[in-house]
Amino acid sequence: MADFYQNGIVTTLHNLTNRSIEDLESELTEFSKKRPLGLILPSLFSELEGKALPDIISKIAEVPYLSQIVIGLDRASLDEYKHAINFFSTLPQHHRILWNDGPRLQALDKKLQALNLAPTELGKGRNVWYCMGYVLASGKAESVALHDCDILTYERSLLARLIYPVANPQFNYEFSKGYYARVADKKLNGRVARLLVTPLLKALKKVLGDNDYLEYMDSFRYSLSGEFSFRRDVLTDLRIPSDWGLEIGVLSEMHRNFASNRICQVDIANNYDHKHQDLSLESTDGGLSKMSIDISKALFRKLATQGYIINAENMRTIKATYFRIALDYIETYRNDAMINGLTLDTHTEEKSVEMFARNIIEAGESFIANPMETPFIPSWNRVVSAMPNVLEELKQAVEEDFEEFSKIAQPNAV
């Protein structure tokens, strides 16, 4: 059972009673009559063959309140797209699959490239951006949840609690961020959140001084969660980062576009486990190493837009301050783990902090050397302004893919 403490400037909605899923879904079904609800699932094809996604889909199939499910499918051949149609055909809800590697969506992407409006990097950010465009184009949902497809501890209550804040007509939230404990196999996980983001935010506040943005970011209990929900109007002016800074970037965009009383975070699971990234101590090109660089750059970039000077001198101070704070946190987390009967490898934790400290410097140097770098994908408002029929073309491409291949892959698919 969670506490009821409210910290920071973002409302926290706790799990105080372990309310039954039947009760939650009954209320959400009533909400959906006035405010249709949807779900976005950004997926790699490989996840269809994994352990997590088949279980997730079998549970989503029992959800009574969804009007729409939008699946973004990356890294899939034609045969794999047909397999995906068959795989998702067990869903009774209206659903469509964006075959991102298919010729129709690739042709649309090339049109956007010609206007310098297409996503420049492959990955989750691009996938999510196109899915959001399809939600706007189809107009079937007013409030939408988004979660990852590699959740090993998935329950229907996760989705219900995630979407509830933007589904309830009596609430005024435009955006809700999910949070949870990262514990699995008697180990404390979530190293990037615990050992990079939290101490870095504390260090930035100490070096640069308190400001509303840093207070806002520090209010989130798990800022790197891949689970959030939003009202559809949020999507038109949201710029999606294309790199590992996606989650931080989305939170920053919400801070730019909305007052803090329109944003909340919600406890969506007693425990959460998913596919783990390698630490990548020897390379900054992947794993948690690249993630830490992209996240740090996202924070520096946002602070620069607010008039803060990010240079070599204060980067050294930020790094040193971060390092001391992060090392102190290791003892805090070790004690927290011990009282709960969990294990924590102090040596690995310290190696992680050392790597994150190096990467904070690398992120700062990269930001200073490339001040014109813009990793954000343009907002759909801007894209529509440049190409007024883009949403209609996106919807048509998705529908034509589905109509052409669903009869072959699954005669009963609708």
Q: What sections of 142-211 are H helices per DSSP?
A: 156-167, 191, 198-208
Angle ∠(238,243,245) on CA atoms, nearest 5: 70
The SS3 assignment for 177 reads strand
* pLDDT tens sequence across 159-177: 999 999 999 999 999 999 9
* pLDDT tens sequence across 192-220: 999 999 999 999 999 999 899 999 999 99
* pLDDT tens sequence across 265-321: 999 998 888 765 666 556 555 578 888 998 999 899 889 988 898 898 899 999 999
Distances in whole angstroms, Cα of residue 219 to Cα of each of 6, 11, 52, 259, 321? 9, 9, 30, 14, 20
Residue 262, number of CB atoms within 10 A of its CB: 16
**pLDDT score at 413:** 46
**pLDDT score at 271:** 84
User: How many whole angstroms separate alpha carbon 348 and alpha carbon 332?
Assistant: 15
pLDDT (tens place) for every residue of the chain, 414 residues total: 568 989 899 999 999 998 999 999 999 999 999 999 999 999 999 999 999 999 999 999 999 999 999 999 999 999 999 999 999 999 999 999 999 999 999 999 999 999 999 998 888 999 999 999 999 999 999 999 999 999 999 999 999 999 999 999 999 999 999 999 888 888 999 999 999 999 999 999 999 998 999 999 999 999 999 999 999 999 999 998 876 678 998 999 999 999 999 999 999 998 888 765 666 556 555 578 888 998 999 899 889 988 898 898 899 999 999 999 999 999 999 999 999 999 999 999 999 999 999 999 999 999 999 877 766 899 999 999 999 999 999 999 999 999 999 876 654 444
Of 112, 58, 105, 39, nearest to 78 by C-alpha is 105
The kind and range of the H/E element at 230 are strand 228-231
Q: What sections of 312-345 are H helices per DSSP?
A: 312-339
Q: Model-level pTM greater than 0.85?
A: yes
C-beta separation of 270 from 180 below 8 A = yes
User: How many whole angstroms separate alpha carbon 400 and alpha carbon 97?
Assistant: 11
Phi, psi of 345 (to 5 degrees): -85, 100
The CA dihedral of 349, 355, 356, 362, to the nearest 10 degrees, is: 180
